[in-house]
Amino acid sequence: MITEQKSVAFHTLGCKLNFSETSTIARLFYEKGFQKKQFTEAADVYVINTCSVTENADKECKSIVKSALTLNPDAFIAVVGCYAQLKPEEIARIEGVDVVLGATEKFKLLNYINLSQKNTHALIHNCEIAEADFFVDSFSVGDRTRSFLKVQDGCDYSCTFCTIPLARGKSRSDTIENVINNANKIADLGVKEIVLTGVNIGDFGHGQFLDSEKKKHKHFNFLDLITELDKVDKVKRFRISSIEPNLLKDEIIEFVANSKKFAPHFHIPLQSGSNQLLGLMKRRYKKELYSDRISKIKQLMPNCCIGVDVIVGFPGETEELFLETYNFLNELPISYLHVFTYSERDNTEAIALPGSVPINIRKQRNKMLRVLSAKKIRAFYQSQLEKTASVIFENENKNGTIFGFTENYVKVGAPYSDELCNQLTKVKLVSFDEEGTLKAELVKEPVN
């Protein structure tokens, strides 16, 4: 029997979407009287929310399970999420795992908890991914500065390197009304910034009926969503987590440029600067469209921060094609890169493509792009010196310094003060500090 004295700890791998879902699962436990524990503490239940993008997922999962059982050998171990949907049998073979839950079952985890004894063999509850055709809203709490709000799930795209459609199913969305309700709930908790998350949020509008009586699909899209969210008075700042370049329409860019709430910050996956490789990846754009999107953003928002996802070592990536990507990125006015080294994934088209790139070459190319990213970040930060900006400072005191992010995602530090915590504050960006962030001087008192 579950009692109020029982405790639970969570470990999340992967994306902002996973963090939002972990937080929602956690609230279900807390509502049943479970005590919150850190994953580094002894707990009765450990929940591991996995990621399908993580390299060496099996090895990583084994290590996390082992660390939990070191703290409490009798703990109930639940593994959920994308990797649990894709490779449930692989996880079930890990010693000490009690239950493995796939895409449709992870939010029902409490139904599978058994604290009387550990299972001799891990129980598996997952589904055919086509059954993952419903939307479960989620948002993260715990960090009073920012919250990740899930607005969309799944993906209808068929990129040849990606397992996410196999792990999360087809694209589906929340309703605009429910997203607004959740935004207000988050704001009531004292959170100042909301980050909109999903698998493919630019595809927002799929998978929901708004007029159930007529059973007629009302067409609403991501622009409709952000237009309505912009009217939510309680929220100080919204940020878009990531959006596909082919879905980042002029109207969205223009809206953000004129919005007082939506941050001038876009994260736009590129994956390759070679049209040949983009074709092999089955991406839905060419590099010319990507370049056009960047130009449009910088035309309307010169100080906008632009992040880029890029994959190195994809099958068929010759030295010439890699340098095409490198030079393309080098010339673009972007702010930073998230660099991923291609790794083979079961049940993807790319695994059968010819032209495998040796691992050592993949690593070299990754390093080259990380060096380029460091240069891009430095140049972007340099361009922001002497400018004023709005910062939401975080709650932590790090050796007398408080850190936060400007609306255009520049990390800044200032002398610590309790009065600055979780406040929207005007600052002037004055110099680089030793950690590569910018030092800030307050230009007026914090604004609530």
Residue 220 belongs to domain with CATH number? 3.30.750.210
Regarding beta strands 411-415 and 401-406, do their DSSP bridges make them parallel or antiparallel, or are they unpaired?
A: antiparallel
- Which pLDDT score, from 0 to 100, does residue 108 have? 93
Same domain, 178 and 102: no
Give yes or no for a contact between 191 and 145, defined as CB atoms under 8 angstroms apart.
yes
What Å distances lie between residue 445 and 304, 376, 417, 424, 437, CA to CA? 25, 32, 12, 10, 22
Query: What's the total number of domains in the chain?
Result: 4
- Which pLDDT score, from 0 to 100, does residue 446 have? 52
Same domain, 165 and 234: yes
Same domain, 200 and 219: yes
Same domain, 140 and 46: no
Same domain, 76 and 171: no
Q: How many CA atoms within 13 Å lie on the side-chain side of 73?
A: 0
Give yes or no for a contact between 308 and 334, defined as CB atoms under 8 angstroms apart.
yes
Regarding beta strands 424-432 and 438-442, do their DSSP bridges make them parallel or antiparallel, or are they unpaired?
A: antiparallel
Same domain, 374 and 401: no
pTM: 0.91
Could you tell me if residue 341 is inside a domain? yes
Contacts of 333 (CB under 8 A, 6+ apart): 294, 298, 306
pLDDT tens string, the chain, 448 residues long: the values are 444 579 999 999 888 899 999 999 999 999 999 999 999 999 999 999 998 876 677 788 889 999 999 999 999 999 999 999 999 999 999 999 999 999 889 999 999 998 888 888 899 998 788 888 889 999 998 766 899 999 999 999 999 999 999 999 999 999 999 999 999 999 999 999 999 999 999 999 876 544 443 344 457 899 999 999 999 999 999 999 999 999 999 999 999 999 999 999 999 999 999 999 999 999 999 999 999 999 999 999 999 999 999 999 999 999 999 999 999 999 999 999 999 999 999 899 999 999 999 999 999 999 999 999 999 999 999 999 999 999 999 988 888 999 999 999 999 999 999 999 998 999 999 999 877 899 999 986 554 5
Could you tell me if residue 273 is inside a domain? no
Same domain, 11 and 108: yes
Give yes or no for a contact between 444 and 426, defined as CB atoms under 8 angstroms apart.
yes
Amino acid residing at 343: S
- Which pLDDT score, from 0 to 100, does residue 120 have? 85
Could you tell me if residue 292 is inside a domain? no
Q: Which residues pair with 411 in a beta bridge?
A: 405
Domain boundary, last residue among 77, 94, 127? 127
- Which pLDDT score, from 0 to 100, does residue 214 have? 39
Regarding beta strands 424-432 and 411-415, do their DSSP bridges make them parallel or antiparallel, or are they unpaired?
A: unpaired
Same domain, 47 and 71: yes
Give the burial string for 166-184 (b: 16+ CB within 10 Å, else e): bbbbebbbbbbeebbebbe
Same domain, 397 and 418: yes
Identify the domain containing residue 364 by its residue range.
Answer: 297-384
Could you tell me if residue 77 is inside a domain? yes
Domain boundary, last residue among 110, 127, 144? 127
Same domain, 120 and 138: no
**Other beta carbons within 10 Å of 296:** 17
CA distance 443 to 358: 53
Amino acid residing at 416: Y
Sheet order of strands, 76-81 included:
35-37, 7-12, 45-50, 76-81, 99-101, 123-125
